[in-house]
Structure 1
Amino acid sequence: MTEKRLEVLKRVAELVPDAAGEDCVRVAVDGVDSSGKTVFADELAAVLRSLGRYVVRVSVDDFHNVRSTRYRRGRLSPEGFWLDSFNYDRLRADVLAPLGPGGSRRYRSAAHDLTTDEILDPAQEVAPPGAVLVADGLFLHRDELAGSWGFSIFLDVPFEVTAPRMAERDGTSPDPNHPTMQRYVGAQQLYFAACTPHQRATLLVDNTTFATPHLVRVPD
């Protein structure tokens, strides 16, 4: 990790609010496909732990709907990707509610195996009082989730950068305008139009270059 990246992560970690009493603090790391959400969330979690905070790491990728639901509007449908990808009922019941204000702190970290398409019901885990939930995923500022976060981050990276990253990872087209990419790019454009995540996020981070991210907007 570069010195600049560590500097930004430390600054972000310092901005994460303290818990209220025994409640947990819920932090979202949002951004388009291949903007670097998982890596950023993992690194932020590590920095928070180095500051003595207990961190629960959850990825919304472990809360997908089953394939029959995800693709019911067609495999190339942007609307399907935007509306049908994730099981928000399970995310709220298993993670956000128990780790929210007055919650039990008894959570489950996964609801679905993307490889096998199996629905999961793992044993509950218990977070200690004052824990920090760091959750990464797509669409985390959508209307039904926007009020769930005590602190949120949006990684701002243009499609011209994320599409080649996604191609390297998944074998998709590196051209964001290619017809096969419209499921993903089009879904994000629907998200932007409906929810303006750049404005809803507490913190906006330009993550175009992994080595040198920078804070675009910080809270007052």
Structure 2
Amino acid sequence: MRLEAITWERLTEAVAEHVLETGAADGGPWLRVAIDGAPAAGTRERADALAGALRVRGRSVLVVGTGGFLRPASLRYEYGREDPESYYSGWFDTGALWREVFGPLEPGGTGRVLPDLWDPATDRATRSPHSELVPGGVLVLHGPLLLGHWFPFDLTVHLRLSPAALRRRTDESERWTLPAFERYEREVDPAEAADVVVRTDDPRHPAWGGLG
């Protein structure tokens, strides 16, 4: 894939315009965008920037992170606290994401999304109230390993890090997760699966492949 240099500001504006021009694939009243990438890629920052650009354009936006949909510690750590296979397939509660986030945004849904479910610090349910996304609103879901679950996104953005950059920018205490991202590359090939790919090896100088 040929990539060209771009600023984060221009990229965010371009993605925001594209989201609003494209519309929902299922014909429903809500749009769903993924910002996919390893924690070191800074998905939250990019999700917040996109949300800001969409709000300036008059859209209601709800930003949700997969970190609020972790499974309980007893399930995450069943095979140890640093098991990359568990991280890949057992840490994130994809069933809850389907039920609490995507289900309400299907055509005919209520639009009432649960912004988070589980607090990993206390290992208890957050008991957060639902957030109502009005028709025409946009969900921006960010986090790692988002692709390959058949989530009904209308646009997917993958923040790509080379293996060397991923290792360099991942905190030493979290490097045990790196084999999970190697598996993600092999099995999902996010650079091929995503609608938009952004190279973020140097966060000051992103490059992208444009919008299809």
Q: Same fold (TM over 0.5)?
A: yes
> Within 5 Å, which residues of 2 pair with 1:65-214?
65-142=71-148, 144=149, 146-167=150-171, 172=172, 181=175, 183-214=176-207
Deviation at 1:118, TM superposition (A): 0.9
Question: Deviation of residue 91 (structure 1)?
Answer: 1.0
1:211 CA displacement: 2.4
Q: Give the total of aligned pairs.
A: 204
C-alpha distance after superposition, 1:26-61 (max 9, x if no partner) = 000001231111111111111111122211110011
CA distance, structure 1, for counterparts of residue 64 and residue 143 of structure 2: 9
Q: Deviations over 1:88-141 (max 9, x none)?
A: 111111111112333210111000112111123322221100111001011110
Runs of 5+ consecutive residues of structure 1 not aligned to the other structure: 174-179
Contact between 1:29 and 1:136, CA under 8 Å: does it hold in 2? Answer: yes
Match of 1:39 in 2: 45
Provide the rounded CA distance (Å) in 1 between the counterparts of 2:211 and 2:96.
31
Q: Which residue of 1 aligns with 2:3?
A: none
Q: Structure 2: which 5+ residue stretches go unaligned?
A: 1-5
| 1:11-32 CA distance string (max 9 Å, x none) | 1111113347662100000012
Whether the 8 Å CA contact 1:98–1:107 is kept in 2: the answer is: yes
**Cα distance, 1:164 vs. partner?**
3.4
* C-alpha contact 1:205 1:214 (8 A) present in aligned 2: yes
SS in structure 1 at match of 2:107: coil
Contact 1:33 1:184 in 2 (8 A): no
Give the partner amino acid of 2:87: F
CA deviation map 1:120-171 (0-9, x unaligned): 33222211001110010111102x3x3411111001112322333332xxxx
Give the TM-score of the pair, scaled to structure 1. 0.85
Q: Does 1:9 align with 2:2?
A: no
Cα contact 1:55–1:132 (8 A) shared by 2: yes
Q: What letter is aligned with 1:105?
A: G
Q: 4+ residue runs of structure 1 moved beyond 4 angstroms?
A: 19-22
